Structure formats: C-alpha cells, structure tokens
Amino acid sequence: MTGKTNNPVHFEGMHEDMYSFFWEIAFQNETVFFEKNRKRFMESVKKPLLQLAAVLGPVAAEIDPNFNLNPTSVVSRIRRDTRYTKDKSPYRDHMWLGFRPSKTYLSECFVIYAEFEREFFGYGMGMYAPEPSLMQPIRERIIARPAAFLELVSEPRFSSMFSVEGELYKKDRFPDYPENVRWWLNHKSLSFCYTSTDLARTLRPEISDEIEQAMLIMKPVYRFIRGLD
C-alpha cells in the first residue's frame, strides 16, 4: 500500500518556469529581483512544491509516523539564513522537500528528501552534515545487527538506485570489525542519493509516483537506521 489512495491534492508536475527562476535568481540574487518576481515564485516554484509535499505525505507517514507532514514545514525556504556564513546571498537558487520528525532541524536528523536545482533533481535520505551525535546510534545499530544491515543496503533495487555519500575518517577507527562492516562504521556522515539531469521528468505528474516508489524502496534502510524496526 502506498498511502496515496483518495489523496485530494492535485499535482501536475513541476512548473517549467521553476528552473528559469532558479537560473535568474542565481545571477540576480537581490531583494529587488525577488520582490519583483514574488508572485511568479509563488506560482511557479512554491505552489507545485507544496502540492508535491502533500501528495507524498501519506507514504512519508507510512515510513515514519513521527514525520512532520505539514507541507509548509516540508518545503524549504527560498530565503537563506546568512547570519553564520560568509556567503551573504539572500536567496537560494534551488529548493527541496525534507521529511523529518517534528521539532527538529535538518542539521540534527536523518532526513528523506527530494531536491530540485538548476541542472538536476534528486531524492534520497541522509544527514545534512557530519554530526557525531547522529552517527553514533547508527553505528551501534550496525554493530548490533551487521548481517541485517548489509542485506538491506545490498538489496538490488536499493543499491542500484542510490549511491552512498559521506566523508570517511582518514584513519581507520574500527580495525576490529570485518572490512565490509568497517567501511560503514568509518563514515563521519551517511547519505543515500539519486540524481538525474533529466529535468523533463519533473514536469510530468508521474514524478510524484517515481519519488513515492523510491521512498518505499528506502523504507527498510531508513527504519533500520532510525531504530524503528
């Protein structure tokens, strides 16, 4: 069961102008441009993203009942937080959906995402950045059930779709474990990612089905990593 049955939300695909908007704001990253194009942003970018978040909500809840399913919380903001970065560009030139538990930030959870950028789109799950407090419980679950974990990440549909990303320690910190387990334990962060440059696929309603099926393929690995199974 995918959870989309009787979902009243109508989603027609991403708007082609979304990618034009991303290109333009990348080169005119200023308030004057954004305010002039605010209505365009709402119609071409934010509206279809909110619709997609609502359509994917039921399957997200099936994966993790703790997810915040409010579309306005799932869809990223176009405005950047520039307080702690050297790059003071006020706006992003891309946006994403991020399903995560309520009352958490991207930097402190393992998130299921779909992203849309100027030249590619993608989806997957993982950590925003290296975070020891997130990786430690993941390592403990892998150590406790290594065979189960390796079987899940080696499942053909999963392994053929998603590439593993994440920085590794330069020096092996887990020399006492088998090599195939050690490689996973030595990750500072961990993500499973799919990307494509075929942006035309995102302009059709079927992109929601594609992402939904990918989420269901991710489900067993996600639930293992989060300690839900």
- How does pLDDT run across 47-72, given as a tens digit for each residue? 999 999 999 999 999 999 999 999 99
What is the tens place of the pLDDT at every residue in 4-62? 445 677 899 999 999 999 999 999 999 999 999 999 999 999 999 999 999 999 999 99
Pick from 61, 204, 55, 227: nearest CA to 148: 227
Length of the chain: 229
CB atoms within 10 A of CB 215: 23
pTM as predicted: 0.93
Does the pLDDT value for residue 3 go beyond 60?
no
Q: How many CB atoms lie within 10 A of CB 205?
A: 13
State the CB neighbour count (10 A cutoff) for residue 168: 15
Residue 114 · residue 121 · CB < 8 Å: yes
**Ramachandran class of 126: left when φ > 0, alpha when ψ lies in -120 to 50, beta otherwise:** left
Residues 6+ apart with CB under 8 A from 120: 195, 196, 197, 199
Over the stretch 194-228, which tens digit does the pLDDT of each residue have?
999 999 999 999 999 999 999 999 999 999 999 99
Which of the pair, 87 or 123, is modelled with greater confidence? 123
Q: What is the pLDDT of residue 69?
A: 97
Measured distance CA(118)–CA(182) in Å, rounded: 36
Tokens matching residue 138? 């993941």
Helix (H) or strand (E) holding 143: helix 132-144
Decide: helix, strand or coil at residue 77: coil
Helix (H, G, I), strand (E, B) or coil at 37: coil
